[in-house]
Structure 1
Amino acid sequence: MREFGYQRASDVAGAVALFGADPDTRFLGGGTNLVDLMKTGVERPNRLIDIRELPLDEIESTPDGGLRIGATVTNGDLAAHPEVRRRYPALAQAVLAGASGQLRNMATVGGNLLQRTRCGYFTDITAPCNKRVPGSGCPALEGDHHNHAILGASDHCVAVHPSDMAVALTAFDAVVHYEAPDGPGELPLDEFYLPVGDTPHLETALPVGALITGVTLPPVPVAARSRYRKVRERASYAFAIGSLAAALDVRDGVVRDARLALGAVASRPWRALAAERVLIGAPADATTFAAAADAELAAARPLPHNGYKVALMRNLVVAELTRLTEESAR
């Protein structure tokens, strides 16, 4: 591991000031992703700024009935919070599906949003990777890509975003708040992650030196009837090969509202807007659910060894929407 400097921030403004304009500085939260990448040489910061003692570890109700979640709230505290479990159960389920209890007790909300892809070529510094070394190539296109993207990818990168939590947050229109050198700002989560295009090394729209301070969830009544389902290659904790955050409001056999986001299929959590448009106002039955999945997956461009994800995600959407419909009828 490269030697690095270390400083502990005592307030948000001070943390941002300490970062300055040095692109080789990193904020340190739980460190569950950053430190691993430092050990392998993927991340080589000159300096770490420890933000764990900043007053950003609260979960509070907002005046309009939503929730504000501080950036240093641990994943464990987020999953256990009674209002998260009551108002946004899919979010609690996503966090619980994401890692072991030990990791959840260290990992933070802000760090979870910023975690890097687990693509084997990205984490292997002996391999070319456009995300790690722009212009060096993407060996996954011809190599091991069975768990890579089927939506929104490009010839420059086909890696997927690994976060479970971010998938649920995307389904419920979360907004990311940050403090930048020129003041505070916010980004809707669906604008937070940048499209891959030909610049996969540019992952988020955060300004340089900005510190995530929290995430706001707006009041979303349908979210109280939501589920998160994760499919992985082994029963123990592993990254998804496909996942779904889904919420459904069914009255008199008709879908009145729906929220869907897909995970492990793109470089960012994938809001399934085409599927939602098919669902809302349609009968809550298997035919509608299959049509919604097909509408979203029509844009899929699988590689030779990950085409199974199209069928997997179609079946996942139908199964979970059916289960939500059955639960609403009880």
Structure 2
Amino acid sequence: MSGEHVLVTGGTGFVGAHCIVQLLEAGHRVRTTVRSHARAGDVRDLVRAGLAAAGVASTARVDDVEVVPADLMHDDGWPEAVAGTDFVLHVASPFPVRQPKDENELIVPARDGALRVLRAARAAGVRRVVLTSSFAAIGYGHAVDPGRPFTEEDWTNPDGPNVTPYVKSKTIAERAAWDFVEGTGGDLELAVVNPVAIFGPALGRDFSSSIEILLGLLNGRVPAVPPGTTTGVDVRDVADLHVRAMTHPDAAGERFLAVAGDPIAFHDLAVMLRDRLGADAKHVPTRVLPRWLVQAGAVVNAELRAVAPQLRRSQGASHEKAERMLGWHPRSTEDAIVASAESLVRLGLVRP
């Protein structure tokens, strides 16, 4: 399918920029959306950095990336954005470190934005949309069963306990997308990628909330690491899974968990950073905070607030389906985290 025309929403985003890099490497023509055309240069800088990091000698094709303005909260611009494209990777969606007081600040743009893109894609005759959802739409709001990993068959209960506005927004948005395609989508196909915490190399200062938490550890913004675990995946593997879900004929109508391996304890993550980054990780704490202190500190500390929901989670997730159906083989969680940290050092964001 080399040479197909692909729209990537949110080209300045962490995942979006890496998707563009891999699409260009595969020979596709790429268009991407930004909320303001003033950020067109930012897109090209990120993609140029990504191609250089991937060892691509010439980055001349970056100038061929078409950048168009379109806002998820408005209809204007979307017909032009999807016109003439074969596929859409709908990556753009809000993902803040700080949860809003009003959950609709996240739910409305996530849900309405996904539907806006799907309606425009259907009208333009796009073949398939790949929606970036999240593990947030799979693993929350119900009892944890450490005896089995989460799979694509699982769905978050948005009315369950400890469901944050972000988790609710991703669940509602994905449900709305499936309902749209099954009800009024016509010939439009949908595939969904559900990543866990996304690590990997940052190409600029726009990166995932997971890396924001990692940066907090590297800069010693918390006195100790929280208890509990996290699961991770490299952004390059997330982008690869998007491209596979876009091109593989059997991916239509399917969800795919993007997860590298078993959960890793935050303490083990900290020790690994110390071991593999040496002096660059000298501010990373290795003491473990008591659970009660994390919960109390989450009221005033954004990094602690982001990890508090993970305190009692130990259930892993499986990438068996993506491996079996699409031949997807991710890097290890440890390598993804180290790549994140090394990129933050290169960008000068880690204090000496």
TM-score of the superposed pair, with normalisation by structure 2 = 0.26
- Greater strand percent: which structure? 1
TM-score of the superposed pair, with normalisation by structure 1 = 0.27
